[in-house]
Every structure is written in C-alpha cells, then in structure tokens.
C-alpha cells in the first residue's frame, strides 16, 4: 500500500508502513546498484544484518561488481545460488537502469534518497533531504531492532561517510553529522574505517591520479573542469576498477571550479560521466538531458560518444546552466 504523503511531488511510504512490510514478509533479496559504492553496499548490508537479527531470512543479490568495491563488506551477506527470494528490496537505486548485472525481475520495495527516483518499485520510501541512503536505512533498522549495535553502526558509517566524501561534499548537513555521531556512540570504528576508506590508496591509484591531474581541461574561464579517463590511462597506471572509487571528486579540487566532471571511457564510442557542482549548476538537470540523473550537486549519465565528443556536449550543457 502506497502512502498519499508526498515530498516534492514524490510518493513516499512512512517509516511505520515500511516497518510493517518487513514484519509481514520474509525471504528477502536486497539489490545494490551497478558499480556499487559504499552507500549502496553499506546500506544494503546493514539492512540485511538487521533483518537477520529479527529472525528473517535475507541476502544480498550477488552483484558481480562487488569485487571492485568493498568486497569485505558484502561477502557475509551474499545469497547462495539456490536461494529463492519472495520479496525484493532495492537500496540506493534511483531507476531500473541501475539494476545490477544479471538481475531480471520486479522490485517490491525501494529505499532511496535520490530526488530523481522514478518510482519503479511497487512501494517506495525516498527521502531526498538525506545526504545518503544510509541515513534512511539507519532510521528503519533502529526501529526494526530497537536500536543500533556496533556491526550495524560500522556498516552505516561506511554508507554515510562515503556518500559525503568523509563529510566534505555539499550534500553534508547538520543531520549528517548527527547521524555520524549517533553511529560513533553506537560503536562504529570511525578511526579504523576512515583510514581504510579515505587515507589508503594503492600505488596504481596514485599513478592514475597523477595522470588525471596532469590532463585536466578547463572551460568557462576555469569555472568548469573536466577530467577524461581513458582505458589507455588505466593501463599505463596499472589501475583496475578497484582503483577508480571516488575519482569523480578529483577535478572539483581546482580553485574556482563551479562544476567538474570525470568522463570515463567504456569503449571507443561509449563513456560514463560523473558530474559534481557547487550548486550554481544543477547537476541533475544537466545529466537529465542525457538520460541520467541523481542529485542537484552530484549526478551521472552516459553517452554513446567518444570521451572528447562527450566533453564538448557536456560543456555546452553546463554553459547553458551558467548563463
């Protein structure tokens, strides 16, 4: 049953309605999105752990890209090949184009924080005011389990901290800090996790960063900064997908940048784009022109163009926002 409550025109379930869904159902399969990040993995794993804690059977769908992103978090929760789910939940997936590779089917419940959510699921709880999906899941699991324990706190700290860039991105709010503090009081290993997540880099990652910084492109009098990451650059640095976590934040470090993007080559005529802005440019609207979306200050899309053609098209779209 969908609530009639709405937020910015979007239908959303209440916490109580969401809790009732979890109490009334069992054998849950939880989906994470393609190219999984800390928010989708941490949030999904925390939800899975919480459901098991209250006696439910729950697993994560075996996303084939887990190996490229925090495999040590997801591993205890991955579904066996013979698991037959009866209720499917997506976490941090704004639209069906983000379904993990190999998944076919419908979604019974979506838990999300993207204002661009397409309401593809049978039921949806979406809080666009939250900086991460982890903050939404946090409120759910607190009620499910009667509080937080250190395991849930660790998993949700990964979610909240990574989606805010260790609390420095523009989506960070006072509520984000309150959530982080509550997780720390509940036993989150913030010092240990911060070292792993934000202060440890492979040699290949550092080499890749050097190539990215050396090849930055500047537009709109330096207000727009573009990084193009080709397969050749990855090969030269000896980097894999594991070394590409959060590269979207790199070009935005340039002084005076209002918007920045990483355009990553998939093949000769296909690329993925991650756009970040300081709010003067609406990233969601820009990426929406190319079939993508996300948040006002952080969005993504793809283009069937080579990286350099895509850069020209993207810069023109950003320029329209700056006018």
Mean residue pLDDT of the chain comes to 94
Share of the chain above pLDDT 90, in %: 90
pLDDT for residue 5 is more than 80 = no
pLDDT tens sequence across 91-113: 999 999 999 999 999 999 999 99
Task: Assign 323 a pLDDT band (cuts: 50, 70, 90).
Answer: confident
pLDDT for residue 3 is more than 50 = no
Say what angle helices 38-53 and 150-163 make with each other, to 10 degrees.
160
Share of the chain above pLDDT 70, in %: 97
Report the candidate in 239, 232, 177, 187 with the shortest Cα–Cα distance to residue 208. Answer: 239
Residue 10, pLDDT score:
47
Residue 55, pLDDT score:
98
pLDDT tens sequence across 151-166: 999 999 999 999 999 9
Residue 170, pLDDT score:
86
Residue 9, pLDDT score:
45
pLDDT for residue 247 is more than 80 = yes
pLDDT for residue 287 is more than 90 = yes
Q: Which CATH architecture has domain 203-322?
A: Roll (3.10)
Averaged pLDDT, 160-183: 95
Residue written as token pair 């991650």: 274
Domain boundaries, the chain: 6-197, 203-322
pLDDT tens sequence across 113-158: 998 899 999 999 999 999 999 999 999 999 999 999 999 999 999 9
Cα(135)–Cα(133) distance, rounded to whole angstroms? 5
pLDDT for residue 4 is more than 50 = no
- Across 84-145, the runs of DSSP E, i.e. the strands, are 87-91, 109-112, 123-126
In CATH, 6-197 is 3.90.1640.10? yes
Task: Assign 285 a pLDDT band (cuts: 50, 70, 90).
Answer: very high
pLDDT tens sequence across 9-31: 445 799 999 999 999 999 999 99
pLDDT for residue 286 is more than 50 = yes
CB 135 within 8 A of CB 161: no
Residue 11, pLDDT score:
54
Backbone torsion region of residue 213, taken as left when φ is above 0, otherwise alpha when ψ lies between -120 and 50, otherwise beta: alpha
pLDDT tens sequence across 191-246: 999 999 999 999 999 999 999 999 999 999 999 999 999 999 999 999 998 999 88
| 3-class DSSP assignment, residue 273 | strand
Report the candidate in 96, 100, 120, 98 with the shortest Cα–Cα distance to residue 109. Answer: 120
Per the structure block, which two tokens stand in for 185?
Answer: 């009081």
Tallying the residues shown for the chain, one arrives at 323
Per the structure block, which two tokens stand in for 64?
Answer: 């084939």
Q: Alpha helix locations (H) across the chain?
A: 15-24, 38-53, 71-74, 133-145, 150-163, 174-185, 190-198, 203-214, 231-237, 283-288, 307-322
Residue 20, pLDDT score:
97
């Amino acid at each position: 049953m969908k609530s009639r409550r709405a937020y910015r025109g979007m239908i959303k379930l209440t916490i109580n309605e969401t809790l009732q869904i979890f109490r009334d159902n069992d054998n849950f399969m939880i989906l994470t999105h393609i190219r999984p990040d800390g928010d989708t993995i941490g949030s999904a794993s925390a939800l899975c752990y919480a459901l098991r804690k209250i006696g439910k059977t729950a697993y994560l769908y075996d996303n084939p890209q887990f190996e490229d992103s925090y495999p040590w978090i997801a591993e205890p929760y991955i579904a066996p090949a013979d698991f037959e789910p009866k209720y499917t939940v997506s976490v941090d997936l704004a639209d069906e184009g983000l379904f993990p590779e190999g998944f076919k089917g419908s979604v019974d419940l979506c838990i999300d924080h993207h204002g661009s959510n397409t309401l593809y699921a049978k039921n949806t709880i979406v809080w666009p005011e939250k900086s991460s999906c982890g903050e939404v899941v946090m409120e759910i699991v607190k009620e499910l389990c009667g509080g937080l324990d250190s395991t849930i706190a660790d998993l949700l700290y990964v979610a909240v901290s990574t989606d805010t860039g260790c609390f420095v991105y523009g989506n960070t709010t006072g509520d984000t800090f309150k959530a982080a503090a509550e997780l720390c009081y509940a036993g989150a290993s913030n010092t240990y996790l911060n070292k792993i997540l934000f202060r440890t880099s492979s040699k290949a990652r550092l080499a890749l960063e050097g190539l990215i910084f050396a090849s930055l492109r500047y537009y709109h009098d330096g207000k727009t900064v573009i990084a193009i990451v080709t397969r050749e650059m990855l090969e030269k640095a000896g980097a894999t997908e594991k070394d590409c976590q959060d590269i979207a934040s790199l070009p935005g470090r340039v002084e005076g940048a209002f918007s920045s993007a990483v355009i990553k080559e998939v093949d000769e005529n296909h690329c993925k784009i991650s756009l970040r802005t300081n709010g003067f440019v609406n990233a969601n609207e820009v990426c929406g022109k190319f079939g993508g979306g996300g948040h006002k200050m952080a969005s993504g899309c793809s283009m069937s163009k080579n990286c350099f053609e895509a850069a020209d098209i993207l810069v023109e779209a950003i320029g329209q926002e700056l006018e």
